[in-house]
Amino acid sequence: MKSAKDWAKIYANEKWQQENYYVGNDLGAQCKIGLTTINLWSPVADEVTVNFFKDGNPDTRPYWTSPMRRDKRGVWRWSLPENMHGTYYDFTLVIDGEKHFAVDPYAKSVGVNGKRGLLIDMSLVRPDGWSEDIAPARTNETVIDEIHLKEFSYDPAGGFPENERGKYLALTHADTVLNGAGQTPTGLNYLKSIGITHVQLMPIYDYGSVNELDKDQHEFNWGYDPVNYNAPEGSYSSDASDGMARVKELRAAIMGLHRAGFRVIMDVVYNHTYNLDNGLQNTMPYYYYRTTPDGYLSNGSGCGNDIASERSMVQKYIVDSVLYWTRMYHMDGFRFDLMGLITVDTMNEIRRRLDNKYGKGEKLVYGEPWTAGQTTLMLDKPLADKSNMGLLDDGIGIFEDDTRDSIKGSAGDAGGLGFVNGADGIEWKIQNSVKAWRNDGSPFKSPACVINYVSAHDNQTLWDKLTATTPDEGTRRRQYRLSVGIYLTCQGRPFMLSGESFYRTKGGNGNSHDAPIEINELRWEDVAKKGCEDLANFYRGLIALRQQLPGLYDKGGFAHTRIGSQWSQPGVVGFMVDNTDDEQPSLWKFLTIVYNRKNEPFEFELAEGEWQVLATSADTYLWRHPETESGQYELGPIDFVILGQK
């Protein structure tokens, strides 16, 4: 029996690579009228049999088995002149004298807990109106809200139908209100009222960390544990035992999001898998994974294994998967988990293929430009981490953790300080954040490359982080608004954790990936609590104002040149913005923006002329009926101001 080290030597052979690279687009199973085909790539297999089942229960036996035919470049083929839609299947392979049982790596849907693939004619599992589904028009600015399906709709107070709470179908309701009555919006209704334009769905592919047969539906996980990359997760469907339900209901959810006015971003995890019991490993031992020279699995993901995207057929698999989700589920973008483990070549190929198919920049692509540890590359290819930003296409963005940490302190240190909560000597970092870190020698090609945020599913929520550093609640609330005021007035794309706009807390838990749902769920009654309605209005006004300010939402390569007259002193940062735009004129030609983190007022001299006060921490709707200022302006303690000049 070959070891991981033995397999690595085989795969490293250049002749083997050339002879077994398959360029076709027909891997996986296809069902249509009068024909079913199944194609599996496994050049190391000596025999392959396809097994057919009546249902997706992993304990049942096949009612029919049939050998597959070996073709060129390691592809095994099988076909039948009838549509086998609704039949479940898997493979038995003989590899190196051993039997392997495998799910199809390209399976479009699966049975319970992903143990068996489903032959599915996608044209037959469309919700009403699917063929007319289109994304809403793009707005001047992209404002992204990150949601987890179960967190988002599990709370009974959210007003979702009881049998759809925590499910795909919860996202088909755009008019939910608190406790199902009254006027206080919840769910998508709430996000729309805030001004969100894009919803980022945390993992909705088939993952392994939740038992889909959990009758109490109490199990919880974020879902960064891929098993079947091209199949929807079953725990979010109305019936996990029905592989068609999860497909139809996820499509309905995406259509519901589009109809509600949101574009949809899919959170994808092509850097590791839940474990090695999956279709990738069981059809091609150790081909899809990085191994060390000693034959151990590489672990740059911190999850026990790393996907080897530098290998040609692994890159093809990832690119095929992204294009599949875009085509079959109308996804409008992709967020890549631990993108720093994926090769630059792979990310650039994804960007190129999406641009060629849908138009340049039409689909958003961004990710985490870091790893969780050191990885072992199987080929000498650069990885898509922050150090290689200059090699990435300018249409690929990253989460800018320097902006996040500069504003409120290190995410890895609960007690660490940032600008708003007292760190000294980092005003220059805030100045760099404002212009999306476009400095001399900067690897960032434009603000399109930068995702600005102060909270995401990882680490503490913004409220919990500030609670750890600022005991006084009144001061903390002012720091909260200042934090948001800063990242929403930086060039780049704004991003927020769902619930951020009503002081979301997880009780200080900085890694709630498998914590009880009671810790993770959005508590919709909080939106009506004292202070939360005011905070929501604060977000609404600031986002609505940003949509009118080309000096901030400009994503061009020279956008940073709009930022001028930057100055600072301890605890204060100020700058001016050229806000002119011939194509979409704004009411204000120039902006002055100042941040004051000090616990005392700050007075500064305005540039010559009259200035209108557009927004402060206290009121972000001043732009509707602005007051005029000139000469000296006094900014309040722990406050910011946006002024405009016509």
Q: What is the set of active-site residues?
A: 337, 368
Amino acid code (one letter) for 294? D
Neighbours of 25 (CB within 10 A): 10
The per-residue b/e assignment along 454-476, b for 16 or more CB within 10 angstroms, e otherwise, is bbbbbbbbbbbbbbbbbeeeeeb
Which residues lie across from 616 on neighbouring strands?
641
Question: C-alpha distances in angstroms, 503 versus 192, 277, 536?
Answer: 18, 40, 9
Token pair in block for residue 206:
């088939």
Distance from C-alpha of 133 to C-alpha of 136, rounded to nearest angstrom:
10
H or E element at residue 279: helix 279-283
Asked if 582 and 472 touch (Cβ cutoff 8 Å), the reply is: no
3-state secondary structure of 427: helix
Q: How far is CA 632 from CA 43, 612, 644, in A?
A: 75, 13, 15
Kind and range of the H or E run holding 433: helix 427-434
Beta bridge partners of 628: 612
Report d(CA 50, CA 40) in Å as an integer.
10
Q: Which long-range contacts (CB under 8 A, 24 or more apart) does 476-481 make?
A: 477/531, 478/617, 478/637, 478/638, 478/639, 479/408, 479/420, 479/421, 479/597, 479/638, 480/535, 481/535, 481/538, 481/617
Q: Indicate the SS3 state at residue 200.
A: strand
Neighbours of 359 (CB within 10 A): 9
Degrees (nearest 5) of the Cα angle 138, 448, 544? 50
Question: What is the three-class DSSP state of 76?
Answer: strand
Please list, in sequence order, all residues whose beta carbon lies within 8 angstroms of the beta carbon of residue 440, skipping any fewer than 6 positions away. Answer: none
Backbone angles phi, psi at 51, to 5 degrees: -110, 135
Q: And the tokens for 457?
A: 């599913």
The DSSP element (H or E) to which 497 belongs, if any, is strand 493-497
Strand, coil or helix: 399: strand
CB 97 within 8 A of CB 1: yes
SS3 272: coil
Q: Which of these, 510, 454, 447, 450, lies nearest to 483 by C-alpha position?
A: 454
Q: β-strand 611-616 against 47-53: which pairing, if any?
A: unpaired
Which segments within 54-119 are labelled E, that is strand? 64-67, 69-70, 75-80, 88-95, 98-102, 117-118
How many CB atoms are located within 10 Å of the residue 118 CB? Answer: 27
What's the DSSP call for residue 447? G
Beta-bridge partners for 493: 451
Q: Where are the beta strands (DSSP E) in 504-562?
A: none
